[in-house]
Chains A and B, each alone.
Chain A
């Protein structure tokens, strides 16, 4: 199985701060990577797919980048509503696998 190592496990950001979350795949996944946001008690919501494509309706402060085995999610200007857990996920090979998640809190 492809292992997705996500870091950091948690972080705290101030209002307006730019934050980055990293995801390292155990083998190359050819940009077949998505990022999801999960707010407390809610279902995951798609933010980014194909490593860098913004899902319709997602604020432009969210962006994704990367290639090969290394990918990242950036939030340019932390907002209160961005407090959530974030997960990366690969669809390159079965079984689809997720990172362990990053808990983002507002400082």
Chain B
């Protein structure tokens, strides 16, 4: 079965960076885009960007350009997101999710368990 297993919670200082992982299993990793989604204040969801593991191609929400870097390691079927120059506004839960496509429509069909990032001195 499809699983996305994310790394553990992180406590980081303002101005630092954090890198989190999302290990995929149960499907061909290189066939699907992987997106990252931010959930702040326990409610709202924001799409950060996506990466296509086969080519490394990326698309970003303009709001997160310069903030998020997306990479993959095809040998371990793992996607990574690094967030830089962290502030309190970056404290949130971050999800990785698989983007499926039925030929016409896109949708997020599997989600990781989320990584809680806390930015505090």
Interface positions of A (Cβ within 8 A of B): 31-32, 34, 36, 43-46, 49-50, 53, 55, 85, 87, 89, 91, 94-98, 100-101
Q: Do B59 and A94 touch (CB < 8 A)? A: yes
Mind listing 18 A-B residue pairs with CB under 8 Å?
A32-B105, A34-B108, A36-B108, A43-B95, A43-B112, A44-B108, A45-B111, A49-B107, A49-B109, A50-B104, A85-B43, A89-B107, A89-B108, A91-B107, A95-B61, A95-B62, A96-B35, A100-B43
Q: Do B45 and A89 touch (CB < 8 A)? A: yes
Q: Do B107 and A34 touch (CB < 8 A)? A: yes
- A-side contacts of B46, CB under 8 Å: 98
Q: Do A32 and B106 touch (CB < 8 A)? A: yes
- B-side contacts of A85, CB under 8 Å: 43
User: Which residues of B from 66 to 101 have beta carbons under 8 Å from A?
Assistant: 95, 97, 99
Q: Do B45 and A91 touch (CB < 8 A)? A: no
Q: Do B95 and A50 touch (CB < 8 A)? A: no
Q: Do B47 and A95 touch (CB < 8 A)? A: yes
Q: Do A31 and B105 touch (CB < 8 A)? A: yes
- B-side contacts of A94, CB under 8 Å: 59, 61
- Pick the 3 closest A-B CB pairs, nearest first: A49-B107, A95-B61, A91-B106
Cβ of B38 to closest chain A Cβ, rounded Å: 10
Cβ of A41 to closest chain B Cβ, rounded Å: 9
Cβ of A5 to closest chain B Cβ, rounded Å: 13
Determine which residue in B44, B63, B95 has the highest number of CB atoms from chain A within 10 A of its CB, and name it.
Answer: B44
- A-side contacts of B105, CB under 8 Å: 31-32, 49-50, 53, 91
A49 to B105, CA, bound (A): 8
- B-side contacts of A45, CB under 8 Å: 111
User: Which residues of B from 8 to 46 have beta carbons under 8 Å from A?
Assistant: 35, 43-46
B7 at the interface (CB under 8 A from A): no
Residue of A whose beta carbon sits closest to that of B114: A43
Cβ of A46 to closest chain B Cβ, rounded Å: 5
